[in-house]
Amino acid sequence: MVTEPGVVARSDGVLTCWYAAEKSLMADYHDREWGRPVREDRRLFEKLALEGFQSGLSWLTILRKRENFRRAFRAFDIEAVARFTRRSVDRLLADAGIVRNRAKIEATINNARRCRSLIDEFGSLAAYVWSFEPDASTHPRLVDRDALMKMTTCPEAIAMSRDLKSRGWAFVGPTTVYAFMQAMGLVNDHIDGCQFGDDVERARARFARPKKKS
């Protein structure tokens, strides 16, 4: 049963975004993770890396391989990935459990190395990321399915993308960065009427934004 544009009632009566209507890996990700604010550097780096791997693919493809990615990239520990070598690249290119794209693999290693200097400057990756949080007043008043499909970036995502690129990061275009913002809770893009969107909004209200080191 469809209630509002893009909102679907599950068999148990829970209202949710249309793409999470049926029990699935995507629905579990939507319910438990998407949009909930994150401050752990490892998780933030993982998501930036996986969004880069997603370029040209679907998120479901990456989600199905996420545990393989975590094993291959040492749980996305920034220091560990930064120490990867040419031999590591060869190992990853031979790993059928991940997306075997040399440019994306090398970008992830490069970005981990660049991330270390960013952490030195800001105190954490989280402090850097959350400094680009969009002003909630600029968010569309109503988010339905049509609106969401058109929301591929925002001024803050463009600014973060440009800044990361100026620091030597790769595979961090504005669309990639905005998808990262949606997932990590910098914006709440659950469809209006989705009950999990209400949960996310409460979590965002309680969330203590990380600050740049003084």
Indicate which residues carry an active-site annotation: 29, 51, 59
Q: How far is CA 124 from the centre of its chain?
A: 17
Q: Name the one residue in this structure whose structure tokens are 């620091």.
A: 167
d(CA 102, CA 212): 33
Output DSSP code: residue 191: P
Helix H or strand E encompassing 119: helix 102-122
Q: How far apart are CA 105 and CA 91, in angstroms?
A: 11
On whether the CB atoms of residues 40 and 31 are closer than 8 A, the answer is: no
Token output for 140? 């569309």
What is the C-alpha separation between 112 and 126, in angstroms, rounded?
A: 14
Question: Residue 94 has which token pair?
Answer: 């031979």
